[in-house]
Amino acid sequence: MINRRHIRVKVMQSVYAMQQSHSDDLVKEEKFLKHSIQKMYDLYVLNLQLLVEVQKLAQKRIELSKKKILATKEELNPNTKFIDNKLLNQLNESVSLEGYVELNKLNYWDLDDEYVKILLDELQKSDIYKKYMDTVEDSFNVDRAFVIDFFREIVAPNEKIADYFEDKMISWVDDIPFVNTWVLKTLNKQKANKPFILGSLYKDSEDQAFVSNLFNKTVLNQHKYEDDIKEKTPNWEADRIADIDMIIIKMAITEFLHFPSIPSRVSINEYIELAKDYSTNKSGYFINGVLDKLAKDYLSSNKMVKIGRGLL
């Protein structure tokens, strides 16, 4: 499922895109934001489906080899450990996974099956494949460990797959690292003799509402924050502050003033991390200093009211 940090990333990107395009259509931009998050779930499903398609192709190759006129002994009696992999079979038999693919017409691997071939060829040449196929132990744990290694060492780092996803949807470039981690966590959690069921995109309705609330409240109130930011950055003209840094500061202020259940220190830490990933090398220190001053002022003036652990 998507976490709050990635929700913040998505909102930040949407606010930035809205500013760059000089759009004032809040409804349209919010709709695109939600679409972008939903498409990230598609990317997650496509990665899981890709594992299944690689296994299916391996099975087809085995069946074709058996039909050769001069089939070898190995071709007639192949090692079926990979196509019998218990975790991959759970994915293959998953009603929810198949249903989501069909409902959303995610037939990418039918249309572009060359990427499935690329991964299978790379897998079969790898040491992890040879070691797995030679393993005598037949257990779910062995099968799961192999699939995790397959995804982590062969699928996730594959540049051709990454380029393919980027061509399909530009926003997936930033989503790939998060989705790869999401897939690995999903595989690791799967248990023996349990059907695979796709989890939800959001942890709960509160996280789902957080997307709209953070985006709308930031966009609608951002101009009100500019005097406060200017006061805390006396040595900086507004146009000298990087666009992303300014957006990050405004989003943090939104959380200070409009999200009483989120501790101010949590907001500060989250936006420092965003600055490190998406802005300049010095942005983290700059944003930390500005937000720390603002939080103290808002707290002393009672503009910022936090509940529960929010004051800690």
- Regarding whether 136 and 38 lie in a shared domain, the answer is yes
**Same domain, yes or no, for 50 and 125?**
yes
What whole-number distance in Å separates Cα of residue 162 and Cα of residue 103? 24
- Do 39 and 80 have their domain in common? yes
Q: Identify the pLDDT of residue 309.
A: 55
Token couple for 83: 């196509």
Q: Does residue 155 sit in the same domain as residue 16?
A: yes
The per-residue pLDDT for 281 is 78
Residue 137: inside a domain, yes or no? yes
Among 104, 96, 106, smallest CA distance to 53 is for 106
167-176, 193-202, 227-236, 282-291 — which is least confidently predicted? Answer: 227-236
Question: Does any domain span residue 124?
Answer: yes
At 81 the pLDDT is 96
Residue 177's domain spans which residues? 4-189
- Answer whether residue 134 is part of any domain: yes
| pLDDT tens track for 117-176 | 999 999 999 999 999 999 999 999 999 999 999 999 999 999 999 999 999 998 899 899
Q: How far apart are CA 219 and CA 201, in angstroms?
A: 24
Q: What is the CA radius of gyration of the chain?
A: 24
Q: Do 226 and 120 fall into the same domain?
A: no
Residues 184 and 268 in one domain: no
CA distance 282 to 276: 8
Q: Is residue 310 part of a domain?
A: no
- Say whether both 127 and 259 belong to one domain: no
- Boundary-marking domain end, from 130, 163, 189: 189
Nearest to 45 by CA among 192, 191, 194, 183: 183
Looking at the predicted structure, is the pLDDT value of residue 180 above 60? Answer: yes
Cα gap 12→118, rounded to integer Å? 35
Comparing C-alpha atoms, which of 272, 279, 14, 280 is closest to residue 264?
272
Same domain for 80 and 151, yes or no, is yes
Residue carrying structure tokens 């709308």: 216
Domains in the chain: how many in total? 2
The pTM (predicted TM-score) of the whole model is 0.88
The reply to whether 197 falls in a domain is no
- What are the residues whose beta carbons fall under 8 Å from the beta carbon of 96, sequence distance 6 or more? 196, 197, 198
CA pair distance 251, 221, nearest whole angstrom: 10
pLDDT tens-digit series, residues 14-36: 999 999 999 999 999 999 999 99
| Residues 260 and 233 placed together within one structural domain of the fold | yes
Q: Is residue 311 part of a domain?
A: no
Quote the pLDDT of residue 236. 64
Whichever domain contains 231, its CATH number is: 1.10.940.10
Q: Do 209 and 172 share a structural domain?
A: no
> Does residue 196 form part of some domain?
no
Share of the chain above pLDDT 90, in %: 80
Is 30 within the bounds of a domain?
yes
Do the Cβ atoms of 240 and 55 come closer than 8 Å?
no
- Residue ending a domain, among 146, 165, 189, is 189
Residue with tokens 């951002």: 222
Residues 153, 85 within the same domain: yes
Q: Using an 8 Å Cβ cutoff, are 106 and 160 in contact?
A: no
Interval 35-89: pLDDT, tens: 999 999 999 999 999 999 999 999 999 888 777 777 677 767 778 999 999 999 9
Last residue of a domain, one of 189, 216, 242: 189
d(CA 117, CA 124): 11
DSSP characters over 203-234 = SSHHHHHHHHHHHHHHHHHHHHHHHHHHHH-T
Asked if residue 144 and residue 22 are part of one domain, the reply reads yes
Distance CA 177, CA 156 (A): 8
